[in-house]
Every structure is written in C-alpha cells, then in structure tokens.
Amino acid sequence: MIKPHGSDQLNPLYVEDDAKRAELLKEAEGLPSIVISSAAAGNAVMMACGYFNPLTGFMGLADAMSVAEGMKTTAGLFWPTPVVNLVSDTSAIAGAKRIALRDPNVDGNPILAIQDVEAIEEVSAEQMKTMTQQVFATQDTNHPGVAAFNSAGNHAISGPIQVLNYSYFATDFGETFRTAVQIRAEIEKNGWNKVVAFQTRNPMHRAHEELCRMAKEGLQADGILIHMLLGKLKKGDIPADVRDAAIRKMVELYFPANTVMITGYGFDMLYAGPREAVLHAVFRQNCGCTHLIVGRDHAGVGDYYGPFDAQTIFHKEVPEGALELKIFEADHTAWSKKLGKIIMMRDAPDHSKEDWVFLSGTKVRGMLAAGEDLPKEFARPEVAKILMDYYQSDAAKD
C-alpha cells in the first residue's frame, strides 16, 4: 500500500487506550483551558485521524509562515497550508505549559485535546495578510475561507497535542465518518492496490458519478473512495446528512457492489482552491489512496481561482517527489445531446453550448424547491427525489 506522507507509518494523534484517555481527561479538567476556533478543532480532529500525518501538533509562527510562503516547514517537510491554533484572548492560559483545548462545536464545550504549549506568539497584521494572500490568493473578506481565517484571532498557540475525542463527527455521522487508519484497514481488507479518491462537499449528480467511473476505468483502479467533507460549510451548501443519503442511493443503484467506499472526514472547508487541492492530496495519500480526482474549480468558491488552477499547482509548485499520490486531471463533465451520454468537454471540440445539458446551481435549487423534476441527463431520479425532499422542507428555508 502507498506510504503515508512524511513517514513510514501513520501517526494518528487520537489516544486509543481507554485507560490512558480517561487518565488524560481527568488531568485535563484541572488544566487551564481555552475554547478554540472551529477551524482549529477541525485541524485537531484531522490530526487525531492520521489525515495530517506526520504533524504532531499545531505549528508555530515560523513554520506557519514558511508553509504559507513556500509550502514547507522550517525543517523541510512539504506541507501546503498552515495548521495553526489561533485565538484572540490568551489570558486564561497565560504562563501555562500544558492546557486543555475545548470544542466550540459541541454543547458545553467539552475537552477535545490536551496541548503542550511550546509558544504563544502574537501574529502581526502583516503576517496575517501574508498568510492569507499566499493560501487564499486574495484578501477579500467576502471569501468564506479568508473570513474564517482572519476571525479566529492573532495569537498562535503551538505545540504537540493528544486528542481525546472526534468532536461531533463520530456521533452525528457514525455511518460515514472514518479515520485514515480505518480507511487504510478497509482498503487492505478489500485487497485494493490502486485506489482513486473523489472529494466532495456536494451531492453527486450524473456528471460526478460518471467522472468517478471514468477515473476508475482510465486508471484501471481497484476501487473508488468517495470522501465527503462533514465539517462547516458556507451558507447555502447542502447539509452533510442529505448529501450522504443522496450519494449512498446513487452508489447502491448505479455502481457494482464492492467497488466504492463511502466515507467522510471532519474538517472545515477552506475554499482555498489550489492550495486546498494539494492539502486534499496529502490526506488522501495518508488514507491509502494512490490517486485523487482534481477537476474544474476544485475546492474553489466564486471566481477567485481559474477553472484549472488546482491542477496547475501540482505541475508548477509541488516539487517532484513531494507526494507519492498522483492526480487524475478531469475536465468539466456534462451530458452531450449529440452523443447521448456524459463526456468530458475537452473530448468534444465540435460541440457548441447548445449541445450540452447545463444547469446552474441556482437553477437546480429553484427547480427542487418548486418540486420540479430535474432532467434525467443531469441527475438520477432517485437522487433528485432526496434533494427535492430537502429543498421543500422547513430545514432548507431556515
């Protein structure tokens, strides 16, 4: 199986031993504590799961700046985005060398992890601006990732962590949430050697379905990992439980048995386009995948990134040998009226705009909310029914 990033063995930071974990939880109750940001909590869960291997905790300012500016730590480890614990007020932990990190996303703010404090550093406005620009390629606070990153605070708490639970992900998404350790074990159990991952924060329409099929066949892969983001999204994105139900129905009805794993991971979306695509590659390698599908506007939002910037970065900025995982470069896929099937648009230079079935997200949401059937060329009817039920529910109107 493909090696994890940066080490021979996966190093998840979750404390597996029940007795040790109980001991640490008891200790944590007596430690100075702080409620961390949702982004930092997601980072802690990703480290707990092994997705952020080989990191052992939150980066200090020097490493965060080095990663932002050159995609490597001061020690030379390739890494695409800063992994930081930023807070606004450190008075509750002043002078402490060992602290408890409390979960902002669960009622009562239970203890999520214990951190050994190596440093608490003030991040200057100029340093925040540099990290923001390098990671997100914009300073625009209308960008949801920029807004989240710059609202967490300007004090970076660095040091190793021991994670004591998986936040709300394991309880709210028990059927779907999986650690990198668990995914590796299942890949090994299935006897898969070549595995292609598909990243999604949305339900999968027919173009997504066919793209997975194209990648599997084109790479002669043994299996597909559909890996959905379960953390915080931007307003208007479809909730994880609805996406999960829609994807499971599609796989059940339209893929051969034992060829697809449906899983999810706990992380807040960055919407960082190219840099986030590279991060996605790192944690797909850590969970045992050999390939990642990177398509049009991967991990993007709005018009902040070019349609294929997330592919270009792997050729221009990722050093040779930095990752063992390879990307499967995909074009926009859509239903061709001429050919009567879904294809990549680059494979049909003779097509005009009128030869494709296109629906904007706004149009799709409007049709579903109105109870109108989506074209069969765009969505499987069983998937569309699940989405329609959601868009006509009170939850979608809140």
Which is more confidently placed, 298 or 366? Answer: 298
Confidence of residue 300 (pLDDT cuts 50, 70, 90): very high
Query: Is 183's pLDDT higher than 70?
Result: yes
Query: Is 234's pLDDT higher than 80?
Result: no
**pLDDT value, residue 340:** 94
**pLDDT value, residue 239:** 82
Mean pLDDT, rounded, for 269-274: 95
**pLDDT value, residue 193:** 97
**pLDDT value, residue 250:** 95
Confidence of residue 282 (pLDDT cuts 50, 70, 90): very high
**pLDDT value, residue 197:** 98
**pLDDT value, residue 186:** 97
- Out of 98, 201, 213, 248, pick the active-site residue: 201
Cα 363 from Cα 345, distance rounded (Å): 21
Q: Mean pLDDT, the chain, as a whole number? A: 94
Cα 145 from Cα 136, distance rounded (Å): 7
Mean pLDDT, rounded, for 259-285: 96
Whether 201 is catalytic is yes
Mean pLDDT, rounded, for 107-118: 98
Q: Specify the pTM.
A: 0.94
Whether 105 is catalytic is no
**Residues in CB range of 107: below 8 A, 6 or more apart:** none
pLDDT 10s digits, 11-38: 999 999 999 999 999 999 999 999 999 9
Query: Is 7's pLDDT higher than 80?
Result: yes
**pLDDT value, residue 202:** 83
Sketch out the chain's domains with CATH numbers: 18-167 (3.10.400.10), 175-265+271-397 (3.40.50.620)
pLDDT 10s digits, 338-397: 999 999 999 999 999 999 998 766 788 788 888 888 888 899 999 999 999 998 887 666
Confidence of residue 167 (pLDDT cuts 50, 70, 90): very high
Query: Is 236's pLDDT higher than 80?
Result: no
**pLDDT value, residue 395:** 65
Cα 19 from Cα 6, distance rounded (Å): 30
**pLDDT value, residue 397:** 67
pLDDT 10s digits, 59-88: 999 999 999 999 999 999 999 999 999 999
**pLDDT value, residue 13:** 98
**pLDDT value, residue 364:** 82
Percentage of the chain beyond pLDDT 90 is: 84
pLDDT 10s digits, 133-148: 999 999 999 999 999 9
